[in-house]
Copies of this chain bind each other. A is one copy, B any other.
Amino acid sequence: MRSTAPRISVLERMRRASAPLSHAEITEELVPLGFDRATIYRNLVDLAEAGLVSRVELGDHVWRYEVRGTESREREHPHFVCNDCGTVACLPAVSVDIRPAPGSRHSVVAEVSDVVLKGLCESC
């Protein structure tokens, strides 16, 4: 993957984020700097395919992207979306435990890679 100006700007912007960013949020900042919507979009998709960022959909019909941390603890963390205000947050401080209920033989689930919680945030 080549090192181009738009690509670098996108990555740089994402590194400054504390929660997943949407394509719209990124274009809002980067288009005025002379970059194209579609270019930003394709970069996000490419970076996601390359594994540098993860692409998540948290329930509001908007793709969000975030840089994948290097530390194993950061690599996978649950996300939270407020049903009321739409705020998106990462939840490194919450552990989610998944286990089959007693009595169930089989599950359709082979492997869980992502966890999304929805509900109300503190402010709502």
Chain A residues in contact with chain B, CB under 8 A? 56-61, 80, 83, 87, 89, 91-101, 103-104, 106-122, 124
Contacts and interface: CB of A to CB of B under 8 A. Distances in A.
Contacts of A124: 110
A89 to B, nearest CB: 5
A111 to B, nearest CB: 5
The A contact surface, by secondary structure, is: strand
A64 to B, nearest CB: 11
A56 B59 contact: yes
A89 B110 CA distance: 12
B109 A80 contact: yes
Contact of A99 (B80, B95, B106): B95
